[in-house]
Amino acid sequence: MTQPELELAPPGRREQPAKTPFQRLPHAKPGGMAGLLELLNDRGGKGDLYHLAEELILEVDDLFPIVEEAVLLGFAKSVEGDVEITRVGKAFTEADIATRKSLFCEAALAHVVVLQQIRSALEKKSDGTITAGFLQGHSR
C-alpha cells in the first residue's frame, strides 16, 4: 500500500537464505604449525609447499592441514602453492611461549566460528556454564 510500484510476491513459499556450510577445522596440531612458521621465518618469510614438504620429509598432503591451520588463524597466507608468513605470524614465531599462547587464543577466537559461539554462550549464561549437549550440537 505504501509502495504501490513494488510487485508483491505470491503467498506461500519465501526464498530461504542459503545455509552456510560448517567451518571445517584442519586436523593439525599447534606445534606443527609453530614449527612451519619458524621455518618460514628463518627463510625470509615464504616458501614453496612442495619444496617445504620435501625438506621436512613429509607428503604434501600431510603439510596441507598445517598450512590450512596457519592460514585460518591469520598467521600465514597461501597462494598458488606458496605459503607466506604474515605480520601476525612473524610476531607469533618471535614471541615467548606465554605470548604465543595468548596470540593463538586471540587468533582462534577471532577466526573459528564454533569458538566464538561457545564464548558467546558462556558469556550470556549467568552461571558461566553450558551443557555437553550444546557442544555436541556444534561438532558436526
C-alpha cell at 110: 577471532
By DSSP bridging, strand 46-48 and strand 76-79 are unpaired
Q: For 44-93, write each residue's pLDDT tens digit.
A: 999 999 999 998 898 888 999 999 999 999 999 999 989 999 999 999 99
Give the model's pLDDT for residue 125: 82
Phi, psi of 34 (to 5 degrees): -60, -45
The predicted structure's pLDDT at residue 19: 52
What strand order describes the sheet that includes 82-85?
46-48, 82-85, 76-79
Pick the CATH number of 30-110 from 1.10.260.40, 2.40.30.10, 1.10.10.10, 1.10.3430.10: 1.10.10.10
Give CA 15 to chain center in angstroms: 30
Cell of 133: 549437549
**All three cell numbers of 11:** 503467498
Q: Which cell numbers hold the place of 88?
A: 601476525
pTM: 0.74
The ranges assigned to domains in the chain are 30-110
